[in-house]
Chains A and B, each alone.
Chain A
Amino acid sequence: MTPHPSPGHRPNRAASRRSVPRGTPTMAPPPRTPSATLKWTLYDGWTVARRDLAHLRYEPGQLVGALVFPAIMVVLFGYVFGSAIPVPGGGNYRDYLMPGLFVMTSVTGIMATLNIVAADISRGVMDRFRSMPMARSAVPFGQTGAYAVQAVVSLVIMAVMGLVVGWHPQRGLLLTIAAFAILLLFAYALTWAGVFLGLLVKNEETADQLVPLVFPVTMISNTFVPTVGMPVWLRTIADWNPVSAAVAACRDLFGSAGAAAGSTAWPLVHPVAATLGWSVLLLVVFVPLAVYRYSSAAR
């Protein structure tokens, strides 16, 4: 008498005849040449990016949330604090502020990728990706690529908001586009730092706790006020904060109010070169680190 009859306790005979079960879809063979490998990687990267972008379709609130914050900043700083902040050299404070908020929007990319990578790890999605025959570097490239697309959307909306509140680029379309190109490069470079940090922290809760760090990083800079009034030790940090260089580069290229005034620190005197330099440095450091960390994690 067996209380629990155990069905199917005999090895399946059919299995010996068929190494692959029925209904198997045909899968492309793995790439053999370097160019095929590149195509394979790009396709996988695109698939991963599509997934992140699909989030916006199913949860459009995510994008709204990402824009509410800068909108609040416009009101808070543009109208509340701004009413008491004199712009060095005179001019509209909101014209001075908007480049700072553009950069602030770009910096949130670090948190976006940090969060999604950490969530994927804690939910086992990363393990699923790793157990599949997909290109290894496709995951970080896809995720940073998806964020770059989101960053374009965010920046366009921010720019419209800026035009409404009194931001006026003065130096022509070409330099304005150049400023946004630099902003995008800077944002993209930061997302790689986010991917790497996400691979380090590995869980969503820790990732969420890191989010408030955006504030000191973006505020100890020239985003809201010129650095010249800060105590020397803080001013040195602010002057060399990559965020300051990016903000100064934008003000320079837009010809914003208060662009000329400010610190004599090298990154703020040569803001465009400094921002490009910081971006390249971030990429050179974090792309290899993130790709290595992704493919070797837990090995």
Chain B
Amino acid sequence: MAPIILAEGLEKHFGKTHALRGVDLAVPPGTVYGLLGPNGAGKTTVVRVLATLARPDAGHASVDGLDVVRDAAAVRYRIGLAGQHAAVDEKLPGRENLRMFGRLYHLGERAARRRADELLERFDLTDAADRPVKQYSGGMRRRLDMIASLIIAPPVLFLDEPTTGLDPRSRGEIWASVRELVRDGTTVLLTTQYLDEADQLAHRIGVVDTGRLIAEGSPEELKSRIGSRFDVVVLDPDRLDVAAEVLAEATGTAPQVVRERRSVSAQIHGDAVPLTDLVRALDQAGVAAEDVALRRPTLDEVFLRLTGAPSTGDESEPAKETVR
């Protein structure tokens, strides 16, 4: 199937900052593509180029076969963009915001009103629709921001860190909304700092660091490259070595023992070992465990594995990514 989002060799400089150093992307229609990376990796810049907000210095990109630079005006009919901010008017109620965006899409007054009501209903914001956005919770704002980009039901939706800073419940609501859109045929490109989010939503994940795509694949492919790990905390410190042996046998990798914490961990590669098997093996070896957990790799661990170095993005500087 021909990709609906295509990027080839995208490069972008901001002054001395080399924000993109040759990014290639191909997203088939009806799928979710997750761009995963730390702040400052270039995720937002990719989205800005694809959403016609920034012009690439080199390379080219297209949405639905239309060049994002040459046919920018036509591309804008086919995309929706929800960024890191709640890009709506905070002083106005949600309904007024949606009506305004509907008018700006030239739906006509009546259709703009109807569409606003429809979207509020569908995404469960009707109760808050007539309150100023200022009074919304963070999750509600993001949801409104997202539906503001759905006025014309664009075939392609860009979501730039849609859940950063949200509580787990709001995050779940956004995820549910994204899934529903994809079920209806929308193609979604989302950026995230959370491996979990990419894993939950994306069919394919691209890992971005310092303006490059350093790995790409389905969540399963990436996970098997990175590997999860077992963490076991034993009750009796004297049994640590036995626990380590059990783990070594179960995973086939060398376990790491931290005596002060009475813990032992081992990486899992390839086929996953059922957690229940490990618990049984520990029990048979006479190890009483305080905690046995299958730990998914964190983004930092993904980076360690993929680049052999800690991620260069500084988590304490969220503004870095927002280059305008």
Contact = CB atoms under 8 A, between A and B. Distances in A.
User: Is chain B a partner of chain A in the same complex?
Assistant: yes
Interface of A: 1-4, 6-16, 18-28, 30, 40, 43-44, 47-48, 50-51, 54-55, 58-59, 121-125, 127-134, 202, 297-299
Interface in B250-292: 272-275
Contacts of B294: 3
A130 B108 CA distance: 20
Contacts of A1: 272-275
24 contacts: A4-B200, A6-B200, A7-B179, A9-B218, A10-B203, A14-B184, A20-B185, A23-B184, A27-B77, A44-B104, A51-B96, A54-B92, A124-B87, A125-B89, A127-B51, A128-B87, A128-B149, A131-B51, A131-B53, A131-B76, A132-B104, A132-B105, A133-B76, A298-B54
A11 B28 contact: yes
Nearest to B52: A131
Interface string B71-111: 00110110101011111111111001000111111111001
Nearest to A10: B203
B132 interface: yes
Contacts of B115: 25
Contact of A3 (B73, B296, B323): B296
Contacts of A133: 73, 76-77, 105
Residue with the highest number of chain B CB atoms closer than 10 Å, among A2, A58, A133: A133
A51 B89 contact: yes
Contact of A25 (B76, B132, B151, B324): B151
B81 A128 contact: yes
B203 A9 contact: yes
A40 B105 CA distance: 10
Interface in B174-192: 179, 181-187
A16 B79 contact: no
Contacts of A124: 83-87
A195 B273 CA distance: 61
A11 B31 contact: yes
B301 interface: no
B96 A123 contact: no
Given A6-B200, A58-B132, A125 B88 contact: yes
Contact of A47 (B51, B100, B114, B152): B100
Given A25-B111, A58-B132, A131-B51, A11 B203 contact: yes
Contacts of A27: 77, 105-107, 152
Given A23-B184, A121-B324, A132-B76, 5 more contacts: A8-B183, A18-B185, A25-B102, A28-B106, A30-B77
A26 B111 contact: yes
B206 interface: no
Given A3-B294, A12-B31, A123 B85 contact: yes
A22 B186 CA distance: 10
Given A12-B31, A25-B151, A298 B53 contact: yes
Interface in B151-199: 151-153, 155, 179, 181-187, 196, 199
Given A25-B153, A124-B87, A12 B118 contact: no
Contacts of A50: 100
Given A15-B30, A25-B151, A202-B324, A127 B100 contact: no
Contacts of B211: none
B138 interface: no
B53 A22 contact: no
Contacts of A54: 91-92, 96
A299 B57 CA distance: 9
Given A8-B182, A15-B185, A128 B92 contact: no
Interface in B107-155: 107-108, 111, 114-115, 118, 132, 148-149, 151-153, 155
A17 B152 CA distance: 18
A132 to B, nearest CB: 6
A58 B106 CA distance: 24
A55 B104 CA distance: 18
A43 B106 contact: yes
Contact of A24 (B152, B181, B182): B152
Contact of A12 (B79, B111, B148, B185): B185
A51 B132 CA distance: 13
Interface string B306-324: 0000000000000000011
B153 A58 contact: no
Contacts of B151: 25
A21 B186 CA distance: 6
B48 interface: yes
Given A4-B200, A12-B185, A16-B29, A47 B296 contact: no
